[in-house]
């Protein structure tokens, strides 16, 4: 199957999914709250209200309103936030760098520990280190993420006073508008506890996954054959077994995006990290409907994009679904 | 002294929390340079176990609990890991049963061949590639240069097994252990592959241990034959002799069960009963419950392999020429 | 299938399982007896005094022996709030699993037995739900509901919403397990025999296949209760769950969190410990069930 055909097909599927999400989003918006309430005071008469509704198109049939919504959405207009009085999409995207850097920090942390850790635990399952790591991972999985966060804050921020307990700290705004916390010591310091928190729940997940897949790979016939060929253990572990571990790990790991986004919301809440998740919860509290819908749509988009990328990566690294154009 | 000398090999598996059951119960095996030996038996008799044990590839929780394996004078069971790796895949090669499972699906054929060469001698990639392609041609793989860059799933079963055979020959081994090399293949190519193995072993003077449950194949390929039952060798000797005049009742039963031995329309001969699992072996000779020649002593003592001419048979009442049929 | 006798024998032979069970039983006993044994009813405005607010546990300086674990900002005894709050958490946990099990088992039976497009459709739906993840689904659903109903109305409905949402979000796990069992059982002879006799599919499913799928269902039920409790705690912590005046453990932790910074650590710490204890014990019990009844269900363990 040609790579272009694959991309087009996935793109098509992605568009369908986004349409469904937009319908759901719009339906919710339609039911929730009355935009008129926000725009117009109480002293306006009922007749004038109705006239205004007509003019704004709020009395049009569902599908007409939806198509209007869709048309606006495609141009990037997802409504205007009641609270901020600014375009909802802009408000959300302004918070994107914060969330992204948090996720980046956490991902770096948990990948750099879970990959070597999982591989080691598979190769030497009965060593004390492996038992210790696996035992620790059970603890990590049992502690709810927000408790980890609270605990970390209590110990390091309150009792010991060595870490900041909320916010991003000092950020630097890049020329293209991205506010980053990576370039200042203060910013990096603020990143530490939240990243550790988010990593603490993803780490055991990936650790066990990699260990299980690696153990499965190590038990296969072709690995046995590799031993029979007299290959060096290092080569057997890292070339033969590990390559085959990557495939299911990418697939299953890619499925964790939903969990990751949910945990990010929790982490941002505890640390008052000014990201999209925190914004979303504030919008819920304020019943800022356009912002709520806009967030759902943005998250839906992220979801679809990530899933498509994961599929693409899997197709590229799995020789059994080889696309012509590469060496056959 | 033989090139490969196995004495009293035992392989044990845990049975319950405090006990062990023996999958191999004291097996002896001799192989001279260039000799072709067949190992025959039902599934579970211990043939594959023997093959893996020779290369010390018994995987947990099994273990080699007794015996010695001398290759070229040295006991493989006491060698350090590095020395064993020198022998595996280098001086003793192995061919597994199912080529789809044997080759790593995410690596090209070429890489899997070159890594074998590079694991055992100092050789650059280009030279290794050249050698590999030569071997691929030797095993009659068409367009070997392009196959070199193929992935295993792009080849048919027969071609894959040829690749595995090529890999086995890459390092000019002294012995090839072939564990049911044609069982997983299409019936139509089984003969081809078998004759390929035979020809290559004869031409290169490579010793062969052919493990199979197929007696008809063994007759054509091997010079000597070992028949296994429930973890023990029950008869061994020159192939022709055993096939023409089986000495152990089990051997006779196996041969009689061959479809070729029966007229069309007649029922196939079957040995009644089934082979016991390692965990519930009867006392004495493991075959006696199914044996039509069993006598009183058969369930008390385990018969040892005794020489009868150029053969060895472990039976208290073997079928010998001149004795009753 | 393990006999009841063999099961009990294994259970009593495993100190971890027994210990975990004892803890869970003790917690349930505590919850059930709360109306009588709790030092006060913290949700009865007549029983609390704002003057008692933010007092530390009784063994710390400044503590009061009336309030063993200290008090919160309203003067409620933390021990009492925990006793009541744990009950709410448990109720939601069990309730959600009942809903999940009911939906999941039904859909799993149908998908497995019928096959065809129903099966394909249901499994696709399950896949989508699993990839979005329960927590995310719950957050979005509850966010929308709480925005729609407004805080007061939502507070009244919260407990039902939580049970419903967590229940509906997690049906795929039960459905998948049951479906796998059904597919295995479908191949067996007794199903053909029942069909030949002329029993309706519903009867076959209910009377014959269902009992054979109970073992895996039992195994995952226990772990799912712990999952549901954690999910509810997270949702309440976000403010999308139980309200402050009828809190679960998660809501208690939420309202106590800000007081960590002013030094009143006990308001959040004790509910947190209770939550952890509960989750850990139920998980250990679930592990025991899984190991005893069906080791093949291990998810990526050794």
Write down the pLDDT at residue A39.
64
Phi first, then psi: give them for residue A276, nearest 5 degrees: -70, -35
pLDDT band per the 50, 70, 90 thresholds, residue B183: confident
Nearest-angstrom CA–CA distance, A63 and A71:
12
CB-nearest partner of B119 from A220, A229, A318: A229
CA neighbours closer than 13 Å in the CB half-sphere of residue A268 = 25
Q: Which helix (H) or strand (E) holds A199?
A: helix A185-218
CA-nearest residue to C283 within chain A is A142
CB-nearest partner of A153 from C150, C253, C260: C260
Q: Which chains touch B (3 or more CB pairs under 8 A)?
A: A
- Kindly provide the ipTM of the predicted complex, given to two decimals: 0.87
Considering only CA atoms, give the Rg of chain C.
22
Considering only CA atoms, give the Rg of chain A.
25
CB-nearest partner of C147 from A143, A284, A307: A284
Cβ–Cβ of C300/A212 closer than 8 Å? yes
Per the structure block, which two tokens stand in for A178? 């991205």
Nearest-angstrom CA–CA distance, C259 and C248:
18
Nearest-angstrom CA–CA distance, A224 and A212:
17
At residue C36, the 3 state secondary structure works out as helix
Q: Which helix (H) or strand (E) holds A158?
A: none
Q: Which chains touch A (3 or more CB pairs under 8 A)?
A: B, C
Write down the pLDDT at residue C144.
87
CA distances from residue A62 to A21, A172, A290, C264 in whole angstroms, order as listed: 16, 45, 17, 52
CB-nearest partner of A158 from C133, C260, C300: C260
How far is A320 from chain B, CA to nearest CA, in Å? 7
Q: Do C272 and C255 touch, CB atoms closer than 8 A?
A: no
Question: What residues pair up with B226 in beta bridges, in sequence order?
Answer: B39, B236
Q: Do B68 and B7 touch, CB atoms closer than 8 A?
A: yes
CB pairs under 8 A between A and C: 98
Q: Do A289 and C147 touch, CB atoms closer than 8 A?
A: yes
Q: Do A227 and B88 touch, CB atoms closer than 8 A?
A: yes
**Diameter over CA atoms, chain A:** 89
Cβ neighbours around C237 below 10 Å, total: 27
Q: Do B147 and B132 touch, CB atoms closer than 8 A?
A: no
Cβ–Cβ of C150/A287 closer than 8 Å? yes
Q: Which helix (H) or strand (E) holds B15?
A: strand B4-15
Give the CA angle between residues B137, B209, B248 to the nearest 5°.
145
DSSP string, A33-89: --HHHHHS-TTS-HHHHHHHHHHHTTTS-HHHHHHHHHHHHHTT---B-TTT-SBHH
For B130-177, the pLDDT digits (tens) are 999 999 998 889 999 999 999 998 998 888 999 999 999 999 999 999
Per the structure block, which two tokens stand in for A41? 């005071």
Cβ–Cβ of A221/B101 closer than 8 Å? yes
CA distances from residue A226 to A230, A285, B81, B95, B170 in whole angstroms, order as listed: 7, 60, 15, 11, 14
For C227-250, the pLDDT digits (tens) are 999 999 999 999 898 888 888 999
Write down the pLDDT at residue B323.
46
Residues 6+ apart with CB under 8 A from B274: none
Nearest-angstrom CA–CA distance, A285 and C146:
8
How far is A300 from chain C, CA to nearest CA, in Å? 9
Give the CA angle between residues C115, C121, C126 to the nearest 5°.
105
Query: In this model, does residue C273 exceed pLDDT 90?
Result: yes
Q: Do the bridges between strand B224-229 and strand B36-40 make them parallel or antiparallel, or are there none, so unpaired?
A: parallel
Nearest-angstrom CA–CA distance, A111 and A104:
10
Phi first, then psi: give them for residue B212, nearest 5 degrees: -160, 165
Per the structure block, which two tokens stand in for B280? 């519930």
CB-nearest partner of A221 from B85, B98, B151: B98
For B68-85, the pLDDT digits (tens) are 999 988 898 888 988 889
For C52-104, the pLDDT digits (tens) are 778 888 777 777 777 788 888 878 888 888 989 999 999 999 999 999 999 99
Q: Do B291 and B275 touch, CB atoms closer than 8 A?
A: no
Nearest-angstrom CA–CA distance, C38 and A328:
74
Write down the pLDDT at residue A43.
67
Cβ–Cβ of C302/A215 closer than 8 Å? yes
Write down the pLDDT at residue C36.
82
The span from the first CA to the last CA of chain B, in angstroms, equals 36
CB-nearest partner of A281 from C239, C272, C276: C239
Q: Which helix (H) or strand (E) holds B236?
A: strand B232-238
Cβ–Cβ of A224/B59 closer than 8 Å? yes
Cβ–Cβ of A240/B107 closer than 8 Å? yes
Q: Do B2 and B208 touch, CB atoms closer than 8 A?
A: no
Write down the pLDDT at residue A123.
92
The chain B residues in contact with chain A (CB within 8 A) are: 55, 57, 59, 84-90, 93-94, 96, 98, 101-108, 115-116, 119-120, 149-151, 153-154, 167
Q: Which helix (H) or strand (E) holds B211?
A: strand B207-212
Q: If we measure between CA atoms, which residue out of A16, A43, A20, A28 comes closest to residue A79?
A: A28
Residue ranges, chain A, pLDDT below 50: 323-328
Burial class of B185 by CB neighbour count within 10 A (0 to 12, 13 to 18, 19+): buried
Cβ–Cβ of C260/A150 closer than 8 Å? yes
Q: Do A231 and B115 touch, CB atoms closer than 8 A?
A: yes
For C13-38, the pLDDT digits (tens) are 888 888 999 999 999 998 888 888 77
Query: In this model, does residue C2 exceed pLDDT 70?
Result: no
Determine B/C contact with 3+ CB pairs under 8 A as the test.
no
Cβ–Cβ of A147/C253 closer than 8 Å? yes
Task: Find chain C residues with C-beta within 8 A of A305's C-beta.
Answer: none
């Amino acid at each position: 199957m040609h790579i272009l055909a694959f991309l087009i097909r996935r793109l098509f599927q992605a568009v369908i999914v986004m349409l469904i999400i937009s319908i759901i989003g719009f339906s919710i918006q339609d039911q929730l709250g009355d935009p008129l309430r926000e725009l117009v005071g109480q002293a306006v008469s009922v007749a004038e209200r109705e006239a205004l509704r007509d003019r704004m198109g709020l009395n049009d049939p569902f599908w007409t309103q939806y198509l209007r919504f869709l048309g606006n959405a495609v141009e990037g207009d997802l409504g205007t936030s009641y609270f901020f009085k600014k375009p909802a999409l802009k408000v959300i995207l302004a918070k994107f760098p914060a969330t992204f850097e948090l996720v980046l920090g956490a991902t770096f942390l948990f990948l750099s520990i879970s990959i070597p850790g999982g591989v080691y635990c598979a190769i030497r399952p009965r060593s004390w280190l492996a038992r210790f790591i696996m035992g620790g991972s059970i603890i990590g999985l049992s502690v709810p993420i927000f408790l980890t966060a609270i605990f970390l804050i209590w110990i390091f921020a309150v009792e010991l006073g060595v870490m900041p307990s909320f916010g991003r700290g000092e950020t630097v705004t890049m020329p293209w508008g991205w506010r980053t916390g990576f370039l200042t010591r203060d910013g990096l310091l603020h990143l530490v506890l939240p990243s550790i928190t988010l990593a603490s729940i993803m780490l055991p997940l990936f650790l066990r996954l990699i260990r299980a897949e690696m153990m499965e790979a190590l038990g296969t016939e072709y690995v046995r054959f590799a031993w029979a060929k007299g290959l060096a253990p290092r080569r057997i572990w890292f070339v033969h077994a590990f390559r085959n571990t990557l495939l299911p790990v990418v697939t299953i790991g890619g499925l964790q995006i939903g969990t990751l986004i949910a945990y990010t919301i929790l982490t941002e809440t505890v640390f008052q990290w000014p990201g999209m998740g925190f914004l979303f919860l504030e919008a819920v509290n304020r019943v800022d409907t356009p912002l709520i819908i806009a967030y759902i749509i943005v998250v839906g988009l992220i979801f679809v994009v990530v899933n498509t990328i994961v599929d693409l990566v899997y197709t590229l690294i799995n020789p059994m679904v080889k696309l012509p154009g590469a060496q056959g | 002294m033989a090139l490969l000398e196995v004495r009293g090999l035992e392989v044990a598996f845990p049975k319950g929390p405090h006990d062990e059951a023996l999958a191999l119960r004291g097996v002896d095996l001799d192989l001279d340079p260039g000799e072709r030996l067949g190992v025959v038996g039902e599934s579970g008799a211990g043939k594959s176990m023997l093959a893996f044990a020779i290369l010390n590839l018994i995987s947990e929780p099994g273990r080699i609990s007794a015996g010695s394996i001398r290759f070229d004078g040295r006991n493989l069971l006491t060698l350090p890991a590095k020395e064993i790796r020198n022998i595996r895949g280098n001086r003793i090669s192995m061919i597994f049963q199912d080529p789809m499972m044997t080759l790593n699906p995410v690596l090209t054929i070429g890489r899997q061949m070159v890594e074998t060469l590079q694991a055992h001698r100092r050789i650059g990639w280009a030279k290794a590639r050249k050698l590999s392609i030569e071997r691929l041609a030797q095993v009659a793989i068409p367009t070997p240069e392009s196959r070199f860059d193929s992935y295993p799933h792009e080849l048919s079963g027969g071609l894959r097994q040829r690749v595995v055979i090529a890999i086995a020959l890459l390092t000019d081994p002294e012995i090839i252990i072939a564990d049911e090399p044609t069982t997983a293949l299409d019936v139509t190519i089984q003969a081809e592959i078998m004759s390929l193995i035979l020809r290559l072993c004869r031409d290169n003077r490579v010793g062969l241990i052919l493990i199979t449950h197929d007696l008809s194949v063994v007759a054509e390929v091997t010079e000597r034959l070992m028949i296994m039952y429930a973890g023990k060798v029950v008869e061994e000797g020159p192939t022709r002799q055993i096939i023409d005049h089986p000495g152990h009742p089990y051997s006779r039963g196996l041969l009689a069960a061959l479809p070729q031995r029966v007229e069309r329309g007649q029922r196939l001969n079957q040995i009644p009963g089934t082979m016991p699992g390692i965990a519930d072996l009867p006392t004495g000779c493991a075959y006696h419950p199914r044996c039509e020649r069993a006598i009183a002593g058969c369930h008390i003592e385990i018969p040892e392999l005794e020489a009868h001419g150029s053969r060895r048979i472990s039976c208290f009442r073997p079928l010998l020429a001149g004795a009753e049929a | 299938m393990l006999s009841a006798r063999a099961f009990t024998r294994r259970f009593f032979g495993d100190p971890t399982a027994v210990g975990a069970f004892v803890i869970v039983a003790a917690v349930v006993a505590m919850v059930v007896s709360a109306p009588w044994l709790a030092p006060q009813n913290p949700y009865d405005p007549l029983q609390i005094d704002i003057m008692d607010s933010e007092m530390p546990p009784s063994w710390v300086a400044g503590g009061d022996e009336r309030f063993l674990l200290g008090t919160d900002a309203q003067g409620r005894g933390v021990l009492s709030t925990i006793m009541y709050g744990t009950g709410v958490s448990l109720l939601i946990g069990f309730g959600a699993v009942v809903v999940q099990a009911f939906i999941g088992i039904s859909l799993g039976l149908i998908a497995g037995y019928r096959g065809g497009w129903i099966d394909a459709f249901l499994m696709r739906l399950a896949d989508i739900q699993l990839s979005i993840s329960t927590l995310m689904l719950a957050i979005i659903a509850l966010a929308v509901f709480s925005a729609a109903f407004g805080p007061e109305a939502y507070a009244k409905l919260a407990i039902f919403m939580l049970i419903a949402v967590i229940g509906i979000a997690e049906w795929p796990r039960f459905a998948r397990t049951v479906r796998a069992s059904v597919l295995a059982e479908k191949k067996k002879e007794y199903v053909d025999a029942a069909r030949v006799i002329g029993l309706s599919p519903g009867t076959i499913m209910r009377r014959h296949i269902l009992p054979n799928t109970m073992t895996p269902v039992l195994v995952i039920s226990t772990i799912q209760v712990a999952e549901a409790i954690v999910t509810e705690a997270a949702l309440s912590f976000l403010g999308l769950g139980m309200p402050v005046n009828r809190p679960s453990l998660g809501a208690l932790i939420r309202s106590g969190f800000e007081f960590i910074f002013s030094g009143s650590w006990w308001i959040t710490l004790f509910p947190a410990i209770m939550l952890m204890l509960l989750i850990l014990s139920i998980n250990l019990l679930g592990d025991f069930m899984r190991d005893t009844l069906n080791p093949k269900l291990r998810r990526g363990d050794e």
